Amino acid sequence: MMNALNRDQPWHRLVAARPGLAWHAMDGLCLDDVPLARIAAETGTPSWVYSAATITGRLAALRGAFAAENLTPALRYAVKANDHLAILGLVGAAGAGADVTSLGEFARAEAAGIGPAAMVFSGVGKRPDELRATLAAGIGQINVESAEELGMIAEVATSLGVAAPVCLRINPDIAAGGHDKISTGRASDKFGIPLDDANALYRRAAATPGLAPVGLSTHIGSQIFDPSLFEAAYARILGLIDTLRAEGIAVDRFDLGGGFGIPYDDGIAFPLHAHAAMVRRIVGNRHLDLIVEPGRWLVGPAGLLLARVILIKQAATERFAVLDAGMNDLLRPALYGARHGIVPVAAADAAAASHRVEVVGPVCESSDRFGSYDLPALAPGALVAILDAGAYGTTMSNTYNARPFAAQVLIAGGTPHLIRRRQAVAELWRDEIVPPAPG
C-alpha cells in the first residue's frame, strides 16, 4: 500500500513505533482501527483523540515491570496530566488511585469514582480550606512541602479532631527533568523539604498532635529517562529512612513520585524494567509500602491532537503550514520548547515525498509554532495528527484569542465516544457579568 521508496519518511517511523496507529489504504491513519478522518468528519477539528486500550495496556505494563521484581507499588495517577472524568474513571477502574494538586483535582477524581483513601495531595501551596475538605473526606496521604505547611496541616487536623496522614516530600538536590521548567528536585526549586532539615521535621511531626507521619516522598521532575537520576534521589531518601528507623521512629511508606519520560519524536522508550530492577535493588529487603505517581508516561502516548491545515503560506524564506490547532490547544511547544511528532492522516499524503515546512498555529503570537517538520506537501484541508498529546495537553489548554476548547473523543472497545463536545462560542462569555452603564 505504501510506496516502498517512501517507507523511511519520518512519519512512517513515528507511526511504526506507536502500536495503536496504522495507515489503512482507503481510510488513512487509524487509531485502534478507527479512521481519524471519520472522527474529523463527525466532530470537526481540532479534536483530541484518545485510546482507552493504550492507557489500560500501559497501566498493566507498569504493574508488570514492578511485579517482575516482586514489587507491588500502589499507583497514584497524577491527575494534572489529564483530568478528564472518563480517563480518571479508566485509571480508577484499573485499581489506581490519584495524585492531586488542588481541591478541584480531588473533586474530579472523586467524581470519577476514586476514593479519598486512594489519593495523595501534593503541591507547594495547599490552602487551609483545601486541607480541611480533603482531611474531612479522609484523604489517604498529604505530601508536605515545608515546615510552614506542616504547621498549617496540624492546626487544621486538630480543629477537625483527626490525625493527618502526612509524608514529607524531600528535595534531594538532584538535577533531573527534560527541561529547566520541569525540574523539581534541585535545591533552588520551590519544591520539597531540604534533606538536611527532614530528620528533625519528621521527628517533630511524630510528636505533634494532629499529625500522623506515614513516610517520605520525592518527585524530582518530569520527562526523565535515566534511572540513575532516580536512583541518586532514592538513595538519599532511603538513607534518611534508615536513620529515622534506627532512632526508633516508624517510617512505613516511600512515595517514589513520577517523572518517567516518553519519546515525543524519534527516541528511545523509558527503560521501565531496568528502573523497576533498580528500585528493587536499592530498596533491598526493607519493609516499605511503595507508591508510584505516573502521569505523562501513562497517558501521553494514548492521545493525539487531530488538526486540519488551513492554508500553506509561502513566505520569503520559509514555507508555513498553518493549522487550525494552536498554542491555546497544545501549549507545550510554546511553554517548554517541546517537540511533538506530526504525521499526515491521508494514505495518499503518507505515500508522498517529504518537504520541509514550518508548522504553526493560527494564534496571534510568534511562539505559536510547533516546529520545523519534514512532511508531505499538504494541501489546504489536509488532516494531520500531532502525536503523544495525551498528557499536559487539554489540562493546559486555554481560550486565548477566544478560541473555544476543542472536542475530545475516546476510542474504547473499537468505538469512538465523544467525551467532550466542542465548546460553543457563546459559552466563552457565559460567566461574564457586565455592570449597568453608569448614570
Kindly list the distances between the CA atom of residue 380 and the CA atoms of 163, 307, 336, in Å, as whole numbers in the listed order: 61, 12, 28
H helices of 145-226, in order, are: 147-160, 195-206
Choice between 218 and 408, CB closer to ligand PLP: 218
> What string marks each residue from 33 to 72 as x (binds ligand PLP by CB under 6 A) or -?
----------------------------------------
Catalytic residue check, 30: no
DSSP assignment of 380-402 equals TT-EEEE-S-SSSSGGG---GGG
C-alpha atoms less than 13 angstroms from C-alpha of 431 in its C-beta half-sphere: 1
Q: How far apart are CA 72 and CA 371, in angstroms?
A: 41
**13 burial type by CB count under 10 A (0-12 exposed, 13-18 middle, 19+ buried):** middle
- The least CB distance from residue 80 to ligand PLP, in Å, is 6
Residue with cell 497514584: 76
Stretch that binds ligand PLP, among 21-29, 254-262, 272-280, 404-412 (CB under 6 A): 254-262
In the complex, the smallest distance separating the C-beta of residue 184 from ligand PLP, rounded to whole angstroms, is 7
Task: Compose the 370-389 pattern: x for residues touching ligand PLP by CB under 6 A, - for all others.
Answer: --------------------
Rounded to 5 degrees, what are φ and ψ at 327?
-65, -20
Choose, by CB under 6 A, the member of 20, 73, 257, 376 that binds ligand PLP. Answer: 257
Contact letters for ligand PLP, residues 275-294 (x by CB under 6 A)? ------------------xx
- In the complex with ligand PLP, the residue whose CB is nearer, 257 or 361, is 257
Indicate the DSSP class of residue 363. Answer: S
Least distance to ligand PLP from the beta carbon of 124, Å?
10
Among 15, 62, 65, 99, binds ligand PLP (CB under 6 A): 99
The answer to whether residues 102 and 127 touch, using CB atoms and an 8 Å cutoff, is: no
Distance CA 384, CA 373 (A): 12
303: contact with ligand PLP by CB under 6 A: no
The span from the CA of 320 to the CA of 316, in Å, is 11
Binding residue count for ligand PLP, defined by CB under 6 A: 16
Give min distance, CB of 231 to ligand PLP, in A: 17
Please report whether residue 78 would count as binding ligand PLP according to CB under 6 A: yes
Stretch near ligand PLP under the rule CB under 6 A, chosen from 77-85, 311-319, 332-340, 406-414: 77-85
Query: Among residues 169 and 369, whose Cβ is nearest to ligand PLP?
Result: 169
Say if strands 47-51 and 253-255 run parallel, antiparallel, or are unpaired. Answer: unpaired
Q: How far is the CB of 221 from ligand PLP (least distance, A)?
A: 7
Q: List, in order, residues 6 or more apart from 186 with CB less than 8 Å away.
A: 171, 173, 174, 175
Distance CA(357)–CA(233), nearest Å, equals 41
350 is written with which cell numbers?
A: 503518507
Q: Based on the shown chain and the rule CB under 6 A, indicate whether residue 122 belongs to the binding site for ligand PLP.
A: yes
CB of 218 to ligand PLP, least distance (A): 9
Considering only 258, 301, 326, 361, the residue that binds ligand PLP (CB under 6 A) is 258
Q: Using CB under 6 A as the criterion, what x/- string covers residues 199-238 for binding ligand PLP?
A: --------------------x--x----------------
Q: Which backbone phi and psi does 433 adopt, to 5 degrees? A: -120, 120
Chain residue at closest Cβ approach to ligand PLP = 295
User: CA–CA distance from 308 to each of 61, 300, 319 (Å)?
Assistant: 33, 21, 16
Task: Please state the length of the chain.
Answer: 439
Residues near ligand PLP (CB under 6 A): 78, 80-81, 99, 122, 219, 222, 257-260, 293-297
Known catalytic residues are 364
